[in-house]
Amino acid sequence: MGPRPLPLLCSLIAVVFLVSRAKAVALPKASPLHILFVVVDDLGWSDVGFHGSKIETPNIDGLAAEGVELDNYYVLPVCTPTRSAFMTGRYPIHTGMQHFVLGPASPYGLPLNFTTLPQKMKELGYATHMVGKWHLGYNKWAYTPTYRGFDSFYGYYNGAEDHYTHEIQNILDLRDDKEPVRDLNGTYATFAFTKRATKIIKSHDPSNPLFMYMAFQNCHGPVQAPEKYTEKYSFITDETRRTYAGMVSITDEAIGNITQTMKDAGLWEDTLMVLTTDNGGIHSRGGYNYPLRGEKTTLWEGGVRGVSFVHGNMLGRKGVKSEELMHATDWYPTLVNLAGGDADQESIPLDGMDVWNTISHGDPSPRKEILLNIDPLPFDNDDPSVSFYEGVALRSGHMKILMGVNNDTWYTPPELGGKSESKHVISPRKDQVLDLLASTKENVGSRLKVVLYNVTADPTEHEDLSEKLPDVVKELQERVQYYIKGMVPPFNKLPDPRAFIKAELEGIWTPWQD
């Protein structure tokens, strides 16, 4: 038989090529990385089972045990500054959000010139959804979540809302995107938020990447929980602590429900979960950080050393505890880079660092120091009741310096005896603080009381080493002075009466400056 005709041979080659190409196209593509970023409000260091708490947190404990627990991870002492750090990757001293929190009538918010984490995720093709607490401004619509990168928002703008009425100062604060939600009076907020989160997850296409920011209202005051969740803590005689324990249990149950829904929806195997508090617990509202010193609103370890872990199949190691330094600003570059972006291309330099190799593989942290905060008074206010000045604190390696901080003690949970230790008082004077911030040339140590701790050897901050290690004090003061030179003034402004007028007129807290 002679040679095949050339046209027939070409046709066979073409068929083989097309079949091969069809097979290549049919190969499954790599699954996208989904990100579940969970913030538990005011969760204390000693309020989770994996830190030895008597409060039951089986879902949280199980996830932490399967992932990487972060033991030297820091946040800010209160809500708004920490959330600004999550969203921008910058220290609050660089965004003007360093002092205290936004109020219902605060006429400012997280500056609009900063690209937020959800905006970056949208650029990378993510569906972005937020459920829960915003607390980063809403005086204009441009400051609200759906204008800052979220495809959807179901939650509230302020902080400290009633968990059943969803009101603050007797005015509603609950939204579905921009629309008021007026039919949930009597529904416990965390139940409503969990229901919305699971609805989003069920309707999401697993082939598309998902970024969910789940910012729980629990365990922030007012301290409220259904009796069903508090009765098992009858051994806690202190009512506030008992109710707070119920709030933690509700949160743990919600996390279990959300993660189970992700499993049922086929998302969980490709999900990276981050859980973090926004600050330490506060004993007057039932939260505790024992054996750490201090609490929410302070720069002691109890205020800024945060409960956190990371969970996911993509981790290179699991079931371990990381002792490396990490900070709230680090999530921005870490998650952006992990999602396929390049956080180094930001026009405004980041303070956060990519710590993925530290978390996933146990590499040394690229971070050698953390500015815990520089908190000046927000405006010229001679009212002695203004007591939320935090002072200055910096951690460098094993050492931590605190300057001009208010004294605080060790708050022991009531179920452990409820005893507190006392220490000497460090009381900053307003003129000292203003003097410090007005000058960047003089030695700050001459004007503010200074204490120094080795928080690796002494994590409970009992032994002040400032007199024994004056060279270390001087070195860290110089680092503080460096940060002072680059600090922007806080944006805090007095409440705008127009906010109250419009809120009362519309029956809901709403933007009033558009």
Both structure tokens of 455:
């928080």
Both structure tokens of 162:
């009633």
Q: What angle do CA 304, 306, 311 make, to 5 degrees?
A: 160
In order of 242, 396, 428, the CA distances from 473 in angstroms are 42, 11, 18
In order of 46, 158, 289, 302, 511, the CA distances from 152 in angstroms are 33, 17, 34, 34, 18
Whether residue 219 is preceded by a cis peptide bond, meaning omega within 30 degrees of 0, is yes
Three state DSSP letters for 180-209:
ECCCCCCCCHHHHHHHHHHHHHHHCCCCCC
CA–CA separation, 324 and 356 (whole Å): 12
Q: What angle do CA 100, 101, 107 make, to 5 degrees?
A: 120
Q: How many CB atoms lie within 10 A of CB 271?
A: 20
- What b/e sequence results for 41-63 when a residue is b if at least 16 CB atoms lie within 10 Å of its CB, and e otherwise? bbbbbbbbbbbebebbbebbbbb
502: amino acid identity, one letter: K
Catalytic residues, which ones? 79, 135
Judging by beta carbons within 10 Å of its beta carbon (0-12, 13-18, 19+), is residue 159 exposed, middle or buried? Answer: buried
Q: How many CB atoms lie within 10 A of CB 118?
A: 24
116 φ/ψ sector (left φ>0, alpha ψ -120 to 50, else beta): beta
Residue carrying the six token digits 């945060």? 306
Give the H/E segment covering residue 79.
Answer: helix 79-88
Both structure tokens of 94:
């660089």
